[in-house]
Each structure stands twice: as C-alpha cells, then as structure tokens.
Structure 1
Amino acid sequence: MSERDRFERLRLIRSPRIGPVSYRQLLARFGSAGEALRAIPDLAARGGGKASVADAGAVEREIAATRALGARYLLMGDVDYPVLLDQMEGAPPALIVRGDVGLAAKACIAMVGARNASAAACRFARSLAQDLGQRGAVVVSGLARGIDTEAHRGSIDSGTIGVIASGIDIVFPPENRDLQAQVGNQGLLVTEHPPGVQPLARHFPARNRIIAGLALGTVVVEAAPKSGSLITARLAGEAGREVMAVPGSPLDPRAQGCNSLIREGAILIQNGADIMEAIGGFDPRMVRQGSFDFIGEPVSSDVAERERTAVIALLGPAAVAVDEVIRLSGLSPAVVQTVLLELELAGGLERQAGGRVSLR
C-alpha cells in the first residue's frame, strides 16, 4: 500500500458519514479510496442530500500529531491489522496504536467488569490476569476504573492491551495516567480516535466492540445488570467468541450481571485454567483474511428510480434488518445496498448494531 493510498484511505475514514460499512462498500465498488472520495458528492446527491470529504490539510495535521506522540496507524488491509478484530461487524477501518503490535497476534483474553467493583473482585481480577499471563495469554481491557485497572496491573509484565475511548493523548480516568503510559510503553495502547478527541459517552460502546474483537473470549468478573461490561460480553457472543463469567454472591447487585450470564449459558470461570480450557478449541488459523482484499457488501453502479423508491418505502424510524429489506423489496442485494449507501452519505440513514438500518 503506497503512502498516497494510505493517506487517501485515512481521509476517506475521516470524511463525514463514512462508517465501517460504507468504507468497505466504497472501496469494493470503486477500487481505491481516491476514486471513492471523488464519487461521494454524486452518491449523496442521488440520496437526496449533500456530502463533503475530509479536508486534506486536517488529515495531514492529524498524521503529524499522531507521529509526534510516538504512535502509528494500523489500517484495515495492513498485514499487522489484528485478524480477529477484522472479523467483527463494524471493525474500525483505522486504529491508532502505541507499543508492541505483536501482542494482538497472540492468544488474547478480554477481561471486563464493574467500575465500582468490590475489593474482593479487584483482587481476584488482578490475580486472574497474572495467572493468564503465566499461561501465555495477553489480557485486553479498557483502562477504566475498577476491574479494568486491576486486569492491566496484573498483566502488565506478561502482556496487556488497553483500548481507550478517546485520542491516544487523552487519559481517562485521570488517576490512570501512569498506568496508561505504562501500557503504551510495555504493552499496547489502542484507539480508533484521532489525537485530542475526548472520551464522550457514545465512544464507550464502540470501544467495547474493539475489546471483544481483539480477544478469543471475554471474561466478566463483576457487573451489574445493563452495564457496559455486558455489552462487551454480548458483542463477543455475537461474534462467535467465548463468553465467560465469574460467579458472585446473589446478595451483591454487582454480581447479578455475571450470574445472569452464567444462567444464560456463559462458561463459569474460577481460574486461569478454566479460561484456557474454554478457548482451547478455537483455532485462529481458521479465521478468514477478508480485509486484505477488501471484500465488501455488494453494490451496484446503476439503480433505477423505481428501485430506489421501493427501498426507501420499506424504511422508517424503527430499525429493520438489511436482509429483511432485501427480502421484502424483491431486489438484488447490490441494488439495496447501493440505495442504503446513497442515503447514508446524504445523511438520511443511520446504521445500527446487528446489520439494521433506520431513517434519521
């Protein structure tokens, strides 16, 4: 991949309304990011709106700032882009990383849990992370308070990956400043956001998909119902990864999430041996290498107005599966995906988890 192509791909990623799905579709249809950038205004016009592309100067400044921080980019299609993450729905087209990228190629286990974790859970998480490190595994977590912090502390010497919901130069929570620096120096620090981006609430669910995507399985140590940790576990399960949980007292609300996961089929975990046994049947060599040739959703270069009208008529503010739109419309997947892409670029469509879409 030439430097020019890398620059244009990053510019495409940073353009308004370009998400992971539309990024893949545009590359699949036009063959290069440069051609895709030139086509965006016309595609948006067909969708009934206007669209602009990222300013080249702004992208150049982002690249300079990233390099000044001692970080670098991993673009989808790079040979060292994490293979397991590539399999996740909505995997980020670009990562900014600092540290040892080779850690992501090892057997990774995600460990997540409550921010207001009990002292006993924190102690157990730290011990469990140490145990996993001694068994050759790399621990992935989110550098949050509580369980995340202890998971990183327990695995910092053996290998840990911290995924953050902000720019790589931003520390959150502030008390983890030294720990985040240590992860970047001794382990691997990962984000999908440019330098300077603050950790907004909407960034955390997106961060969770990266945590789940990097790992063969996710362990929840302590979590209340409806917590972010359970989102990570759900994403792991949807991706076909192992979901594991540490049981807790039914009298402690912080254990209800884990106990519910176990009741629903998650593997009960008591030590590192249990985790390694759970992931023992997963062979990473069986994972496809799809991103290297940018296999994307089928798109068409020509859509009749009656076809566009038929697709739009099936959409509304309530999310619907794209497969359902294809079935009800009777149109080819290529035509439906093209109409959705045009609407998205025009600002009229929102993509949601599980391959669903809705009108804005």
Structure 2
Amino acid sequence: MPLSDEQRLTWLQLLRSENVGPATFRDLINHFRSAAAALEALPDLIARGGAAGNIRIASREMAEREMALAEKANACFIGMGEPDYPPALRSIDYPPPLVCVTGNPGILTQNAVAIVGSRNASINGMRLAGRFASGLGAAGYAIVSGLARGIDTGAHKGSLNTGTIAVFAGGVDVVFPEENEALAADITGNGGAIVSEMPMGWKPRSKDFPRRNRLVSGIAHGLVVVEAARRSGSLISARLANEAGRPVYAVPGSPLDPRHEGTNWLIKQGATLVTEADDVVRDLADSVPPAGNAFWSGEAEDEAGDLPVASADHARQAVLGALGPEPVEVDDIIRFTGATSGEVQLVLIELDLAGRLERHGGNRVSLIQAP
C-alpha cells in the first residue's frame, strides 16, 4: 500500500500530535479510515476523553517542516504498509506507523539478525561481535544494532561490507554517541541504513533507548547478546525479542567477569548458547520469519460506514466502569459492557488522547489514576 505524498504528510501530522502513539494511531486509522479524517476528529475526541489540560495537535506546517528537514538530510519516511517497511517489524505489538530512513531503504526488507551487548566491552567481546556480524553477513543476513559504544560498534564494523542497519534513539540526523559519526557515514555509504521513529533533530533521552531497543529486536529475526551486565539495555532487548517470539542467543563467558553476568543468566533462562555465527544460521534455518500484523487494516478508500464518530454517554460510562488500574483485555471490555466493538474502540481512543489510558501487551489496557 504505497502512500501518496498527501497521505504521508497527514500520517506524520497525526503521529506527531500529543498522545498519539503507535497503538492510538492504528486505532484512529482503523476507525476513521484515514489520517485526514482522524485529524479532523481529534479536537472533539480529546474533549470527550476528559483531558486535564491542553493537548497539542501537530499542525500541517510542523509536518511540512519535518518533511523538509528529512529531504535536506537525504532521509525518507516509510509507512507500515509500504514495500520497504521491515517485514518482521510489522508483527510486533503496535509497530511504528512511520519510520525515517537514511541510506539504503531496500536493506530493511532483508532477513536480519540483531547483535547487542555491553558498551564497556572487552577486547575479546569486540572481536566476537565483529566475527558474528561478518559470519552472519556472509550467510545473507543484515546486521541490526544501536550504534552504541562497544558491542554495537563492533557488530556494525563487522558487517559494513555485507549490510548493516543502525537504529537511533533520536532523529536520524542526530548521531549518538558523537564519536560514531564516521561509522554512521560508513554505514549509509556502504549500502546500509539508519532508522528511527523519532522526529528529525530529536536528541535522545535516557527513556528513548528502550524504545530504540524495541525496534532493534523488532526488525530482526533473532537476537544475539555477546556481552551484557546483569542490568543492561541488552537484556531489555532480549526480553522484547522473546516477547515478540524471536529466538534469543547468548555467548557464554567467564562467571568472574561482570560483563558476562547477563549473558550467562540468559542461558540459564533458556536462551540458546552460541559460540559462532553458524550456530545462529543453523537454528534460524528452521524458523519461520515473522511478518504481518493481525491488528492493522491501513487506510481505506471507503467511508467509516456504521462505525460511530462520537461515543454515546452510556457506552463511555460502561467502559469507564469496566476499567481500572489493572490491565484488562479489550475483548473482555466488549463482552462485559455489551457495547459494540466500534463503541468501545472509540471510547478507548478518547481516553488515550486525553492521557487517561495506558496500553499494555496482549491488547490490554488500564485506566491511569488521577494523582
């Protein structure tokens, strides 16, 4: 489903509006059939959701400025239904509707393996990351990592000649750490790509890195952890990969080295022990590549039909009565309230836009309690 220039612009405008994350974006498009129609409905939806303050709706001018910045940086926005969107990323819970890409977008459709690990990597860890990346690249896999110091850097350098994908926690035009600016240029100059879901010019914050890790594990068909402390972002990536049904591989190390505590722990928890790239290649040969998303219909030319454009008071009160601080499945809300799926969906959209709803895995939601 290639997007027109106008659709791409309205998608970006909707996505950059406050409280519109991937899940809310998906529900808005599925309900109103287009980003343009959803944008028109936003003010009323926010008001009915009971927002405590003003909720920012991105202007068309803001979206146009970001598009211009992307064009200046030789970047492009790829929508979820478009051919160059990473196929495996579509299968995670609430995939990003748009990703911004510099370099070679075509590499995003290639089967990929993520390699992650400690920023404070050992010399042998760096050597192993490069060896795994080189071997997997020779077997036809693109290598995905986060361009961080240490293992990430070793993985990217080891796969420059075969294809590597760097996922940023900030905008694609903001290289972090700055010491890897030359490496980022080498990646895009050698047929690789840089990917982000964050706005152009966005400087990464600490809370943006778990979101980056979600994309790293989501793009890949499997994830290799080379070195990791017991508490590290690499273990977050491993958890996210496991939740998405991706195999997790770990390289064992000395129990005396804290840089191996995380990888050894992963093996105890059931991660596959690997010592060379061929171990990963053989295991992935029997796996089915993840693709598709059952919760996405995309933009459609037809009208919303019998879907409500405004929630009824009785439906809103019934849904609020069914919600609490504990996550519940949306299907259970529909059964409990007796409301139609369209009515429930619209009330949840209103609450989400008002900042009163929290999304959880497994299509579950909970109500955010007032402070």
* Class of the TM-score when normalised by the shorter of the 2 chains: over 0.9
What residue ranges of structure 2 are gaps of 5+ in the alignment? 301-305
Q: What letter is aligned with 1:123?
A: R
* Alignment partner, residue 15 of structure 1: 17
**1:14-47 CA distances to partner (integer Å, 9 max, x unpaired)?**
1111111111111111111111100111112221
2:28 counterpart (26, 30, 55)? 26
| Equivalent residue runs for 1:88-99 within 5 Å | 88-99=92-103
Q: What is the CA distance between 1:353 and its match in structure 2? A: 4.5
Matched, 1:35 2:37: yes
- Code of the residue aligned with 2:111 in structure 1: it is A
Q: 255-264 vs 156-165, which deviates more?
A: 255-264
State the partner residue of 2:259.
Answer: 254
Greater CA drift, 219-228 or 66-75: 219-228
Find out whether 1:312 has 2:317 as its counterpart. no
Q: CA deviation at 1:346?
A: 1.5
Gaps of 5+ in 1: none
Which one of the candidate residues 330, 351, 356 is aligned to 2:359?
A: 351
Partner amino acid, structure 1, of 2:34: S
* CA distance in 2 between partners of 1:277 and 1:271 (Å): 11
Matches within 5 A, 1:295-306: 300-301=308-309, 303-306=311-314
Aligned to 2:188: 184
Question: Pairwise mapping of residues 98-137 of structure 1 onto structure 2 (< 5 A)?
Answer: 98-137=102-141
**Residue 155 of structure 1, CA deviation:** 0.6
Q: Tell me, in whole angstroms, the C-alpha distance in 2 between the residues paired with 1:237 and 1:184.
A: 29
1:232-279 Cα offsets, whole Å, 9 max, x none, are 111111111111111111222221211121112111111111001111
Partner of 2:250: 245
When residues 302 and 196 of structure 1 are mapped into structure 2, their CA distance, relative to the original with a 3 A threshold, is closer
Q: Which of 149, 170, 191 is residue 174 of structure 2 equivalent to?
A: 170
Distance in 2 separating the partners of 1:323 and 1:82 = 29
- Distance across 2 between alignment mates of 1:182 and 1:327: 54
Deviations 1:49-82 (A, max 9, x none): 3644211111111111111011111112212111
Q: CA deviation at 1:337?
A: 2.7
Which residue of the partner structure matches residue 2 of structure 1? 4
Residues 157 and 170 of structure 1, relative CA distance in 2, 3 Å threshold: same
Normalized against structure 2, the TM-score is what?
A: 0.89
Moved more, 231-240 or 145-154: 231-240
Whole-Å Cα distance in 2 between the matches of residues 101 and 318 of structure 1?
Answer: 40
Q: 1:277-292 to 2 correspondence within 5 Å?
A: 277-284=282-289, 287-288=291-292
C-alpha displacement of 1:107 = 1.7
TM superposition score normalised by structure 1: 0.92
Report sequence identity in percent. 46
- 1:342 deviation in Å? 0.7
The Cα RMSD (Å) is: 2.3
For the pair 1:81 / 2:89, whether they are aligned, the reply is no
Contact 2:319 2:347 in 1 (8 A): yes
Q: CA offset at residue 224 of structure 1? A: 1.5
Partners of 1:17 and 1:141 in 2: CA distance? 28
Distance 1:150 1:27 in 2: 40
Q: Matches of 2:255 and 2:342 in 1, distance apart? A: 50
Matched, 1:263 2:265: no
Question: Hey, what's the Cα distance between the residues in 1 that align with 2:245 and 2:342?
Answer: 27
Change (3 A) 1:235 1:295: farther
Contact 1:41 1:52 survives alignment (8 Å): no
